[in-house]
Homo-oligomer: A and B are copies of this chain.
Amino acid sequence: MTQSGLAISDILEAQKRLQGQAIVTPLLPLPLLSEDYAGSFWVKAENLQRTGSFKFRGAYNALKQIADQDQKTPIVAASSGNHAQGIAEAARLLGLKAHIVMPHDAPEVKVNRVRRSGGIVHCYDRHHEDRNSIAQKVKNELEAHYVAPFDDWRVMAGQGTAGLDIVEQLSSIGKKADHVLICCSGGGLSAGMAVALHHHWPNCRLYTVEPEGFDDMARSLKAGKRVRNEKTSGYICDALLIPEPGEKTFPILQKHITAGLTVSDEETRQAMAYAFHECKLVLEPGGAVALAALLQNKLADWFKPGESVVAVLSGGNVAPSVLGEALESYLPLRE
Q: A26-B26, A327-B320 are in contact. Are A48 and B334 (CB under 8 A)?
A: no
Chain A stretch 5-37: residues in CB contact (< 8 A) with chain B: 23, 25-26, 28-29, 31
- Picked from B48, B109, B112, the residue with its CB within 8 Å of the CB of A26 is B48
- Residues of chain B with a CB closer than 8 A to A45's CB: 26
CB distance from A169 to the nearest CB of B (A): 11
Q: Is A316 part of the contact surface with B, judged by Cβ < 8 Å?
A: yes
Q: Is A176 part of the contact surface with B, judged by Cβ < 8 Å?
A: no
Chain A stretch 151-176: residues in CB contact (< 8 A) with chain B: none
A109 to B330, CA, bound (A): 13
CB distance from A55 to the nearest CB of B (A): 14
Q: A23-B28, A28-B23 are in contact. Are A280 and B52 (CB under 8 A)?
A: yes
Q: Is A116 part of the contact surface with B, judged by Cβ < 8 Å?
A: yes
- Residues of chain B with a CB closer than 8 A to A280's CB: 47-48, 52, 281-283, 316
A327 to B109, CA, bound (A): 13
Could you say how many copies of this chain the assembly holds? 2
- Residues of chain B with a CB closer than 8 A to A52's CB: 280
CB distance from A113 to the nearest CB of B (A): 9
Chain B residue nearest in CB terms to A279: B48
CB distance from A86 to the nearest CB of B (A): 13
- Are B26 and A50 interface neighbours, CB within 8 A? no
- Are B334 and A116 interface neighbours, CB within 8 A? yes
- Are A320 and B324 interface neighbours, CB within 8 A? yes
Render A313-335 as a binary contact track against B, CB cut-off 8 A, 1 for contact.
00010001000100110000011
CB distance from A94 to the nearest CB of B (A): 14
Q: Is A276 part of the contact surface with B, judged by Cβ < 8 Å?
A: yes
- Are A335 and B116 interface neighbours, CB within 8 A? yes
Render A96-136 as a binary contact track against B, CB cut-off 8 A, 1 for contact.
00000000000001001000100000000000000000000
List 13 interface pairs A-B (beta carbons < 8 Å), by A numbering.
A23-B29, A23-B31, A26-B28, A26-B45, A31-B50, A47-B280, A48-B279, A52-B280, A109-B277, A276-B282, A282-B282, A320-B324, A320-B327
**10 A-B pairs with the lowest CB-CB distances in the bound complex, closest first:** A280-B316, A26-B26, A280-B282, A320-B327, A47-B280, A48-B280, A52-B280, A276-B282, A116-B334, A31-B50
Listed in ascending order, the chain A residues whose CB lies under 8 Å from chain B are 23, 25-26, 28-29, 31, 45, 47-48, 50, 52, 109, 112, 116, 276-277, 279-283, 316, 320, 324, 327-328, 334-335
